[in-house]
Amino acid sequence: MKRIVLIFLVLIVGLCGCRKFEKEVLISKATIQDMVAKKFPYKKDVIIAKINLNSPQVYFREKSIGLKLEYYGNFLEKGIKGHIDFNGQIFYKPEKGAFFIKDFKIVDLFVNKADFSGREIFKAVVLKIVSIYLEDYPVYKLNPSDFKQSITKLLVKSVSVKNESLSVLLSI
Q: What pLDDT does residue 21 have?
A: 80
- Select from 90, 72, 58, 79 the least CA-distant residue to 160: 90
Check residue 4 and give its pLDDT: 53
Per-residue model confidence (pLDDT) at position 3: 60
Instruction: List, for residues 78-88, the tens digit of each pLDDT value.
Output: 888 999 999 99
3-state SS record for 45-108: ECCCEEEEEEEEEEEEECCEEEEEEEEEEEECCEEEEEEEEEEEEEEEECCCCEEEEEEEEEEE
* All domains in the chain, ordered by first residue: 31-141 (3.15.10.40)
pLDDT digits (tens, 9 = 90+) for 147-160: 888 888 889 999 99
pLDDT in tens, 95-147: 999 999 988 888 998 888 888 877 888 788 878 877 777 778 888 999 888 88
Predicted confidence (pLDDT) per residue in 5-60, tens digit: 345 444 444 444 555 788 899 999 999 999 999 988 988 887 887 888 899 999 99
Q: Is the pLDDT assigned to residue 70 strictly greater than 90? A: yes
